[in-house]
A and B are shown apart, each in its own frame.
Chain A
Amino acid sequence: MSNETTATTARRGQAPRGERIADWADGRLGIYSLAKANMRKIFPDHWSFMLGEVALYSFIIIILTGVYLTLFFHPSMAEVTYHGSYVPMHGIKMTQAFESTLHISFDVRGGLLIRQIHHWAALVFLAAMMVHMMRVFFTGAFRKPREVNWLFGFLLFVLGMFTGFTGYSLPDDLLSGTGVRFIEGVILAMPLIGSYLQMFIFGGEFPGHDIIPRFFTIHVLLLPGIMLGLLVAHLILVIYHKHTQFPGAGKTNNNVVGMPLLPVYMAKAGGFFFLVFGVIAVIAAVASINPVWAIGPYRPDQVSTGAQPDWYMGFAEGLVRVMPGWEWNFWGHTINFGVLIPILVFPLVLVAIAVYPFVESWVRGDKREHHILDRPRNVPTRTAFGVAWLVAYFVMLIGGGNDLWATHFHLSINSITWFVRIAFFVGPVLAFIATKRICLGLQRRDKDKVLHGRESGIIKRLPHGEFIEVHEPLNQEQLHFLTQHEQPEPVELGPEVDENGVRRKLKRSQKLRAKLSKGYYGEDNVIPKPTVEEYKEITSGHGHH
């Protein structure tokens, strides 16, 4: 006889129903121990911590609506002639995939709404992941022990792009079919294996009859399955590491200050899910997205102008559009650099941000855990790198819509293309320099504030007639906030010769590291924060204006 039954018999009829059920579950699943550790777990509060939540909730919304869509969608490329309720398309030949998308939109009550929620949520999902990633980046939340979770998040972003792309292709409309044709061209451009891959992926010549069903499996099963696994791992790690927090009074690297999961955080986070869902539902009610009936079914010899992929593909699209059409023929073979280089640069740019945490910790030579977030200004080189990366990304987004820019602003495609080509290389460099300057300026201002107080806006007239602005000293909380950050020393190479007078051999990586480290923490790249001595000297009377 188990303890549980003895306990219940002893108090028969007394323990409330809920408790008895919980006891039952605890005896089998150990839920009390789990709840002990987590029910009152503390979560710090900050608006920027909600970005990840938006991503999570839109993912849930996507799954819910996606499952509904599978109930009606036919992932088949069999040809049919349309006779449904959308009259303008009567008699037109199309695939079953397209027909069933029309069916969802015009014959299933609420089907259009669910389709639109699914698509809007996909856009929000990717945007939220991107902004969330930037928050993590600029505050240094990726530092030890969270590097692995950074990678999980990065993978979610990349897989999200592919899931979005395959989903976008499913309705088999003129626009998405054009996107699939693009993929075919990219596959063909792969040296050596391109034409084999193309035949294998499409089950024959483009477009064939297999690509939509294959994309369907990838879209509804393979990628979401992997993403769900990554997502759960991501969240488990967030709970396990405990959330980072911004610096402030009472917040240390050894604690986490905030409110308990039950009830506050549960109510806020749970409520936030409904807020996100509600907002996306309203957007889907008022803003049409991907009206496939206005675009028509796919035919390889037809196209609509102004063809644009969803925004998250714009970066890759831009690379492809602005790349010069270099092609190389030799010994009966062709290498299509015009397509190959963009599709190699695309992952490289993404990987640059993915490996950043490892680079930074190597440069800093830091093996400690970090739970207090950085203010971006206090790590100018990292912040500048992040901004430079974003500039490269958004320049290419402009390139991806070069025809739209041209038609809306009456510019020539040629000049936009050249602008993008140059800006892709120059823009990030300028952004890097400017951001670093701004960060150092802000550090200087912080230092001023600490030493001389905050400008109060009150003007006082001194006995000899001069006007001055009264500076209010900061309180201890503010002083702490502005001075709590670490300012690491750059790593040193050590003496050129060892104790026996023999020249030490320095590896190239060591030299590189010392150089980078100076770029991060060297004299010109940081404003030394005020010391207690400086502060005391000024506040003890000498420092008055």
Chain B
Amino acid sequence: MSETEENLPSERETAHEGAVVKAENPFADPGLPPHEHRVQDTDERAAKRSERAVAFLFLVSMLATVAFIASYVAIPIDKIVYIFPLGHISALNFALGLTLGVALFCIGAGAVHWARTLMSDEEVADERHPIAAAPEVKAKVLADFADGARESQFGRRKLIRNTMFGALALVPLSGVVLLRDLGPLPEKKLRTTGWKKGIRLVNQSTNLPLRPEDIAVGSLTFAKPEGLEESDEEFNEKIAKDALMLVRIQPQNIKDKQELAWSHEGIVAYSKICTHVGCPISLYEQQTHHVLCPCHQSTFDLSDGGRVIFGPAGHALPQLHITVKDGFLEAASGFAEPVGPSFWERG
């Protein structure tokens, strides 16, 4: 037995097509069952009905395409219609999608119906051949390869071989070097923010400097550093680190000593950027002073140093030390630690 034949399981080799006498082996493969005719194969009237059904489907498809073009021309793009149960939707989108869908679907349905009712449905068998080559072929290939390798003198001339490997190994370095200008080096970028001593806190929604009395009990106020404007070129990069949230907590309810020291009359300012992977925190529960990040539900306790009390975040929210000058809230210093998700050099 050759190697390739071994590759095919031999169990079924006895099971040739055609009936095997039942008495010998009742489990033997009885072979392909005889083909059964459909009505369409014997009754030309039934076949004609199928033909008409297929043609009808193709005809519907043509009409649907015409309707598609008509809708495209006739329906204004901003027309909104009420369609039950979908609600108020774009009339054009609805009409185009439906007509295109019907046009396509009917082609498919026609083709499949044609195949199922009119094309021959007789099952036939094809032979398989082992994928692996016959031993002679393999021997020939190996010999050819040996010839080629010998003629190249690749194995004999080691100097050529080694220098070629060296050259091929080095040349991709050029490509790697070229990637250097994809971006700047991190340097201190991830550690710095726009906050430093003396920068005023500006209300995100009104764009006015915040006074202590603006911070109401029970709500989150969002702030940005004074001087950062939405029209700035780098606004997004800056706000991604500088975004701040403020809440007012009864000072006696602040559990963390440093938090109390960095607050002003119970007003505390925390980075709004979640320390997990950087989503902005947006939900505040006033009884517990918990804030929740909507992305992966990390929960922080703003009355206890921004400690993580639930969820995948790995460390507390950074607090900004604030004070009041001339009646306005301002930073008493920059953030003491990097804001946002942690990174290797964060420490």
Give A residues with C-beta under 8 Å from B. Answer: 41-42, 85, 93, 106-107, 109-110, 112-113, 116-117, 144-145, 178, 181-182, 184-186, 188-196, 198-208, 210, 240-242, 249-260, 263-264, 267-268, 270-282, 284-286, 288, 299-307, 320-327, 329, 331-339, 367-372, 402-403, 413-414, 417, 450, 476-477, 479-480, 483-484, 486, 532, 535-536, 539
Flag if A282 contacts B101 (CB, 8 Å).
yes
Q: Which residue, of B112, B340, B343, has the highest number of chain A Cβ atoms within 10 A?
A: B343
In the assembled complex, the Cα of A413 lies from the Cα of B13 at a distance in Å of: 60
The B contact surface, by secondary structure, is loop
Q: In the complex, which residues of chain A have a beta carbon less than 8 angstroms from the beta carbon of B311?
A: 321, 325
Question: Which of A272, A288, A326 is within 8 Å of B314, CB to CB?
Answer: A326
Q: In the complex, which residues of chain A have a beta carbon less than 8 angstroms from the beta carbon of B312?
A: 320-325, 338-339
24 A-B pairs in the complex with CB atoms less than 8 angstroms apart = A93-B231, A112-B90, A113-B100, A182-B279, A196-B186, A201-B183, A249-B29, A252-B29, A259-B121, A259-B122, A275-B109, A279-B101, A282-B105, A284-B93, A300-B273, A301-B243, A321-B296, A325-B311, A333-B345, A339-B276, A368-B6, A368-B8, A476-B28, A480-B27
In the assembled complex, the Cα of A250 lies from the Cα of B189 at a distance in Å of: 71
Excluding A264-B115, A307-B279, 13 further A-B contacts by CB distance (< 8 Å) are A189-B342, A200-B179, A205-B189, A205-B237, A205-B241, A254-B12, A271-B110, A279-B101, A303-B295, A307-B294, A307-B295, A324-B312, A476-B27
Kindly list the 9 A-B residue pairs having the minimum CB-CB distance in the complex, ordered from nearest: A285-B97, A185-B277, A278-B105, A271-B111, A327-B314, A274-B108, A250-B32, A282-B101, A275-B108
Given A188-B342, A476-B26, A486-B11, CB of A274 within 8 Å of CB of B310: no
B143 in the interface (beta carbon within 8 A): no
A286 closest partner in B (C-beta): B86
B33 in the interface (beta carbon within 8 A): yes
Flag if B186 contacts A484 (CB, 8 Å).
no
B190 in the interface (beta carbon within 8 A): yes
- Interface hit among B44-52, B124-132, B256-264: B124-132
Flag if B277 contacts A42 (CB, 8 Å).
no
Question: Which of A199, A268, A484 is within 8 Å of B184, CB to CB?
Answer: A199
Flag if B314 contacts A203 (CB, 8 Å).
no
In the assembled complex, the Cα of A138 lies from the Cα of B297 at a distance in Å of: 37
Question: Which of B105, B123, B278 is within 8 Å of A185, CB to CB?
Answer: B278
Question: Which of A250, A271, A306 is within 8 Å of B33, CB to CB?
Answer: A250
Nearest-Cβ distance from residue B59 to partner chain A, whole angstroms: 15
B76 closest partner in A (C-beta): A109
B175 in the interface (beta carbon within 8 A): no
Nearest-Cβ distance from residue B220 to partner chain A, whole angstroms: 12
Flag if A109 contacts B77 (CB, 8 Å).
yes
In the assembled complex, the Cα of A191 lies from the Cα of B310 at a distance in Å of: 24
B341 in the interface (beta carbon within 8 A): yes
Flag if A113 contacts B7 (CB, 8 Å).
no
Flag if B108 contacts A272 (CB, 8 Å).
yes
Flag if A199 contacts B294 (CB, 8 Å).
no
In the assembled complex, the Cα of A402 lies from the Cα of B32 at a distance in Å of: 53
In the assembled complex, the Cα of A204 lies from the Cα of B181 at a distance in Å of: 10
Flag if B280 contacts A206 (CB, 8 Å).
no
In the assembled complex, the Cα of A339 lies from the Cα of B277 at a distance in Å of: 8
Flag if B77 contacts A339 (CB, 8 Å).
no
Question: Which of B22, B125, B277 is within 8 Å of A257, CB to CB?
Answer: B125
In the assembled complex, the Cα of A272 lies from the Cα of B179 at a distance in Å of: 45
